[in-house]
């Protein structure tokens, strides 16, 4: 009853009430990634989290990235593209998306969305994650509070 998905869903509801950014379901992201024009993925986690596992093709963004730095480094990449931001559960990526959404829109991004439930939801649904060597069944380290939201793969 009070398993990982229940706890993760509770966190998602709190995040969505606090941050008014458009979200994208994991199934919808999977479909977009399989399409002809996949979105530009931004992973908003620490370097060590990103190295442990990520969604393939994701570009890592430091969670503290500001609008000016984002514009200088990524405005040409987002032009004409759908963009999706994610972190562990959606908190850091929602905060960052709120800061840079105007820059993305100004640069011509088609859409700017936050992955609902982040990489934890993606991983819990059995979707693929990679590390520098390729596919992995591992996910980044986390503390005991957030770790209860992850269903470990066997």
CATH 3.90.1140.10, domain 4-129, yes or no: no
Identify the band that residue 6 occupies on the pLDDT scale cut at 50, 70 and 90: confident
Write the CB contacts of 137 (distance below 8 Å, at least 6 apart in sequence): 129, 153
Neighbouring C-alpha atoms within 13 Å toward the C-beta of 83:
30
Q: How far apart are the first and last CA of the chain?
A: 21
Q: Write down how long the chain is.
A: 154
Given a cut of 70, whether residue 151 has pLDDT beyond it is yes
Q: Which residues contact 154 (CB under 8 A, 6 or more apart)?
A: none
Taking only the tens place, the pLDDT of each residue in 56-83 is: 999 999 999 999 999 999 999 999 999 9
Per the DSSP assignment, residues forming a β-bridge with 134 are 131
pTM above 0.75, yes or no: yes
Strand partners, 86: 43
What are the sequence ranges of the domains in the chain?
4-129
């Amino acid at each position: 009853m009070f398993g990982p998905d229940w706890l993760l869903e509770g966190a998602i509801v709190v995040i969505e009430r606090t941050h008014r950014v458009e979200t994208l379901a994991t199934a919808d992201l999977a479909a977009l990634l399989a399409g002809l024009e996949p979105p530009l993925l931004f992973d908003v986690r620490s370097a060590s989290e990103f190295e442990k596992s990520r969604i393939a093709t994701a570009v890592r963004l430091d969670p503290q990235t500001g609008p000016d730095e984002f514009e200088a480094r990524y405005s040409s990449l987002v032009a004409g593209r759908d963009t999706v931001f994610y972190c562990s559960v959606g908190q850091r990526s929602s905060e960052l998306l709120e800061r840079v959404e105007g820059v993305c829109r100004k640069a011509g991004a088609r859409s700017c969305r936050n992955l609902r439930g982040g990489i934890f939801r993606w991983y819990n649904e059995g979707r693929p994650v990679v590390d520098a060597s390729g596919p992995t069944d591992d996910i980044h380290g986390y503390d005991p509070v957030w770790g209860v939201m992850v269903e470990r793969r066997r």
